[in-house]
Amino acid sequence: MTLLLVGDVGGTKTLLRLVEMPTGETSTTASQQKNLYEALYTSQEYPDLVPMVREFLQAAASLLGNSPTPTKACFAIAGPVVGHTSVLTNLAWSLTTERLEQELNIAHVSLINDFAAVGYGLLSLTPEDILTLQPGRPQSTAPIAVIGAGTGLGEGFLVRLLDDYHVYATEGGHADFAPRTDMEFELLQYFHQHYHLDRVSVERVVSGQGIVTIYQFLCDRAQDLDRDRLSAASEHSTNLGANLTKKDRHLSAAEISQAALEKSNPICQQTMELFIEAYGAEAGNLALKLLPYGGLYLAGGIAAKILPLIKEGDRFLNAFKQKGRMSSLLERIPVHIVKNPQVGLQGAAVCASRL
């Protein structure tokens, strides 16, 4: 058996896991991965990844009754990885594979972008891990695309070469937000005016923080319409804005989405409608660039939690396919939602097994 060390390293939290798998096998299915021990750490409490891993291995030794000696390790990093180096965006950590191999005494260490790990994780999913929104017309040799809104917006893709897939991360979430409707143009102006931004990336809208900002925009808009009483068509918004309290204006993304699921707050419902349409449109933009007839997968921490809203009225798919003369192409692309929250860690194990 081969012992792997895998991790999901973020600016706030880091999750580490020991995984055992048959020697000589590539851990492309979850059933091949035997999880021995895992622990969650607060990243900012450590000056570097090395002391955290050492503490993790000591704790694992106490539980397992022997000192684990992983021979391969893969760490998924929430930020860009250039060559074999990563400087974390929200942590004063500078990581290199060579230093980690030496200081942790692990023969092979890999650093990959966290969304590259999600890409590898797609190779380990079972049918129970996904929900299909659009079956499309799958082609086994075509690229696969993955997009996921969570704390930020990740995008990546897989390309099949012979009998294997190569995984590539991108920074597509930082491309420009492209408004399509009058409301989205108003939202863009809101970003410019309230946050003094020269440009607005799509991640500003399609992310957890994006949900909060859309909600605040709609609260402000409702109150403005209430004051101005522009027309009879504004009466609905007038009612929305009239009784907003200070507490109402400071809801979290989870509270907003939950209220939308419960249909208990009209502004929260409208927020999630705008969010889902922007999400679908960006997924369609990614699909146009890759033509991923192998499938487009929605990962990240949000999609699986708001499944009823995504499916409701085909709002996501309609925005996804609304690409003018190219709409017929997007109807052929399979679209799936990843329900497994551990897809990134499973992907890190797939990557480690290939080292």
Give binding residues for ATP as ranges.
Answer: 7-12
Tokens coding 94: 């500078």
4 contacts 352 by C-beta, under 8 angstroms: yes
Tokens coding 312: 């409701």
* Strand ranges for the chain from DSSP E: 2-9, 13-21, 34-42, 72-77, 85-87, 94-96, 108-113, 130-134, 144-149, 153-161, 164-169, 296-299, 335-338
CA–CA gap between residue 339 and residue 300 (Å, rounded): 9
Q: How far is CA 311 from CA 114, 134, 253, 314, in A?
A: 27, 11, 19, 5
284 contacts 319 by C-beta, under 8 angstroms: yes
* Strand ranges for 144-254 from DSSP E: 144-149, 153-161, 164-169
Helix residue spans in the chain (DSSP H): 49-64, 97-104, 114-122, 182-195, 208-228, 235-242, 253-262, 266-290, 307-311, 315-321, 327-330, 343-353
What's the burial of 246, exposed, middle or buried (CB within 10 Å: 0-12/13-18/19+)?
A: exposed
Does residue 126 sit in helix, strand or coil? coil
What's the burial of 228, exposed, middle or buried (CB within 10 Å: 0-12/13-18/19+)?
A: exposed
DSSP state of 177: P
Task: Evaluate the CA torsion angle 170, 174, 175, 181 in order and state its sign.
Answer: positive
Tokens coding 15: 């999750």
Annotated binding site, which residues? 7-12
Does residue 270 sit in helix, strand or coil? helix
